[in-house]
Amino acid sequence: MSDAPAEKINKGKFISFEGGEGGGKTTQIKLLAEALSSSGLDILQTREPGGAEGAEAIRALLVEGDVDRWDPATETLLHFAARRDHLTKIILPALKNGQWVLTDRFADSTMAYQGYGHRVSKKAIHSLYQFVAGNKQPDLTLILDLSTEEGLKRAEARGAEKSSEAHQQEDRYERMGMDFHERLREGFLDIARKNRKRCVVVDANRPIEDIHEDIRKIVFVKFGLATDE
């Protein structure tokens, strides 16, 4: 039995950030986490693939190495295996404790990258989602949209910075070619059209502060949080 006050239970919200490469999700999550923390909320920042010990081990298998390292179905299963670990060990317990979970990618990335990008059956992806997550879904999904060219250019510049720090290159997806990235951008926009209650598309081709201001407003209005204005 938990002795937490009843209103604390299930109070946490689940927000996912999605989009192609180089859209600035990581920066925007950090800024939103700061804004929500200032409002007194307990925030957990996490990411996929990864976010839990086992899932991080699977991440390395997915983001490093040859482009054709996995066939698309195997790759899809690996993402869902990592997601199950992340959900059961990190996300669900945090939400139960009343924390707000901000994740850098979730299952829409599998639909966009593996479904629209690699053309894995969308029906199979829906079934795997049900198996792994049941009815649990983010309360809000922010899709940071940017032209494919600009996104890949930014991701490449970020990769060059990291390699100078002798990091293992996590650029397997960035090397998948323009057509693949165009398909997944369209995929994210299609997912947004099909899930209008949950998803909001944010134009990521603007200054960081402007994007943050939009995101802050969307989140504060949706969840009825008090603003200073």
Q: In the complex, what is the shortest distance from the CB of residue 226 to ligand TMP, in angstroms, rounded to a whole number? A: 32
Specify the residue, 100 or 113, whose C-beta has the smaller distance to ligand TMP: 113
Considering the rule CB under 6 A, would residue 48 count as an interface residue with ligand TMP? yes
Tell me, residue by residue from 121 to 160, as one string, x for binding to ligand TMP by CB under 6 A and - for no binding. Answer: ----------------------------------------
Task: Kindly state the smallest distance separating residue 218's Cβ from ligand TMP, in Å.
Answer: 20
**Residue 113 binds ligand TMP, judged by CB under 6 A:** yes
Kindly tell me which of 100 and 173 has the beta carbon lying closer to ligand TMP: 173
Identify which of 201, 223, 214 has the alpha carbon closest to the alpha carbon of residue 12: 223
Q: CA gyration radius for the chain?
A: 17
Q: Which is nearer to ligand TMP, 14 or 113 (CB)?
A: 113
Residues ≥6 apart with Cβ < 8 Å to 216? 31, 32, 35
Strand order, beta sheet including 199-203:
43-47, 100-104, 14-18, 140-145, 199-203
Q: Which stretch binds ligand TMP (CB under 6 A): 32-40, 47-55, 88-96, 134-142?
A: 47-55
Contacts of 85 (CB under 8 A, 6+ apart): 52, 53, 54, 55, 58
Under rule CB under 6 A, residue 17 binds ligand TMP? no
Number of residues this chain uses to bind ligand TMP (CB under 6 A): 14
Residue carrying structure tokens 């490449």: 156
- Asked if 49 is part of the footprint of ligand TMP (rule: CB under 6 A), the reply reads yes
Closer of 42 and 51 to ligand TMP (Cβ): 51
Task: Say how far apart CA 100 and CA 52 lie, in whole Å.
Answer: 17
Chain-centre distance of CA 113, in angstroms? 12
Binding positions for ligand TMP, 164-193, rule CB under 6 A: 173
* Amino acid at residue number 199: C
Q: Determine which residue in the list 86, 101, 103, 105 makes contact with ligand TMP, applying CB under 6 A.
A: 105
**DSSP H stretches of helix in the chain:** 25-38, 53-63, 72-86, 92-96, 107-109, 122-133, 148-163, 178-194, 208-222
By CB under 6 A, name the one of 16, 103, 109, 148 that touches ligand TMP: 109
Among 31, 33, 41, 63, binds ligand TMP (CB under 6 A): 63
State the maximum Cα–Cα separation within the chain, in Å, rounded to a whole number. 53
| Residues engaged in binding ligand TMP (CB under 6 A) | 21, 47-49, 62-63, 79, 104-105, 109-110, 113-114, 173
